[in-house]
């Protein structure tokens, strides 16, 4: 059980850390495209270190908030997880303890941390697209879009796979009558 908790904590930490880093990178793109004349001043070494360390701290916080309540669970029956990694949606159904607190913590942290990352990204790219569309030359617009396209693809893949994985836990709980 300890190895499962360590794996879940590590997965939560890595996913949270990556989400906050993607948000910081979106701000970096926003600064570079929307405010290019002050980019070097805004995105200085100290601020970049602050963004990286803040992302790490928020990742640790999210992983602790979600894994510490797992210590109170009791597991009965088969301990077989039909997945290549031990994640929360696969682990919680194996418990014979009331899961309401764990699911509420998971839902709350997903909303707070997920939207805390997603809305700054959405704001940044809304401003970026607006600024790019104001560029008069086609080659300038093309260069700006190509600079951001890889980051947008990574953000889309990251958030859609996370949403698909963790929304299945909520959908399964509702269909099983767990929230009635």
Contact in structure between 169 and 106 (CB atoms under 8 Å): yes
pLDDT in tens, 5-51: 888 889 889 999 999 999 999 999 999 989 989 999 999 999 999 99
pLDDT in tens, 105-135: 888 888 888 888 989 999 999 999 999 888 8
Contact in structure between 70 and 8 (CB atoms under 8 Å): yes
Q: How far is CA 161 from the centre of its chain?
A: 10
């Amino acid at each position: 059980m300890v190895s499962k908790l360590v794996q879940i904590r590590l997965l939560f930490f890595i996913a949270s850390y990556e989400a906050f880093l993607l948000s910081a990178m979106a701000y970096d793109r926003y600064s570079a495209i929307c405010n290019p004349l002050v980019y070097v001043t805004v995105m200085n070494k100290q601020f970049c270190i602050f963004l990286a360390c803040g992302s790490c701290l928020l990742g640790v916080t999210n992983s602790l908030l979600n894994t510490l309540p797992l210590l109170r669970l009791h597991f009965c029956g088969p301990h077989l997880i039909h997945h290549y990694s031990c994640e929360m949606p696969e682990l919680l159904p194996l418990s014979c303890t009331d899961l309401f607190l764990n699911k509420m913590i998971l839902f709350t942290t997903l909303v707070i941390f997920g939207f805390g990352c997603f809305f700054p990204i959405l704001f940044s790219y809304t401003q970026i697209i607006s600024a790019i569309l104001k560029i008069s030359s086609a080659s300038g617009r093309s260069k700006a879009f190509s600079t951001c396209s890889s980051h947008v693809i990574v953000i889309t893949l990251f958030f859609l796979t996370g949403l698909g994985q963790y929304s299945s836990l909520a959908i399964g709980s509702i269909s099983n009558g767990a929230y009635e």
